[in-house]
Amino acid sequence: MSHGIELRAMPYDHPDAVKLNDQVQLEYQERYQGEGDATPLDPAMFAPPYGLYLLAYDADGTPLASGGWRSQDENDEGYSDGDAELKRMYVIPGARGLGLARRMLAALEADARAAARTRMVLETGDQQPEAIALYLSSGYAFCRKFGYYRAYDSSRCMAKPLAT
């Protein structure tokens, strides 16, 4: 499966993270005919213990995937106290089908649980059926919309309790 692939905690603004983020933004633009994800993100949001940003590297040191979570609490964007929000889940096209997204998701959920967050939430879109399938098969369910894109018809919000 993902033999020889290592998950490493990295800053959100690390050059490899920026490179993968640029790629995911291009994919969003392609799938949604227009903009990338305009959600304001700051590297400090992913700093432990209030978040974590992971990159997956192959044995040659090539970054293959990214993902992170950040703490959210109740606010006017529809979050709840104890939420951990999944952001920037991405696997480069050449590494898809290796189980990396599922492995990344499990690592991020475990870290958020260890940080005493009670629910993992995420926002995806109707043009990302692979992502929706991954989350549904990992125990996520559709929930009330929240976040930057909550008013968009294409937005799909999902949540999973992080029981200890």
For the chain, percent of residues with pLDDT exceeding 90: 92
* 115 CA to centre of own chain: 17
What is the longest distance spanned by two Cα atoms in the chain? 44
Architecture of 6-161 per CATH? 3-Layer(aba) Sandwich (3.40)
Domain positions in the chain: 6-161
Those residues of the chain that have pLDDT short of 70 are: 1-2, 164
Instruction: Look up the pTM and report it.
Output: 0.94
CB neighbours (10 Å) of residue 22? 10
d(CA 97, CA 30): 21
* 9 CA to centre of own chain: 14
* Contact between 66 and 21 (Cβ < 8 Å): yes
* Contact between 147 and 77 (Cβ < 8 Å): yes
Host H or E run for residue 142:
strand 141-142
d(CA 95, CA 138): 20
| Mean pLDDT estimate for the chain | 94
Q: What is the pLDDT of residues 77-118, one digit of tens each?
A: 999 999 999 999 999 999 999 999 999 999 999 999 999 999
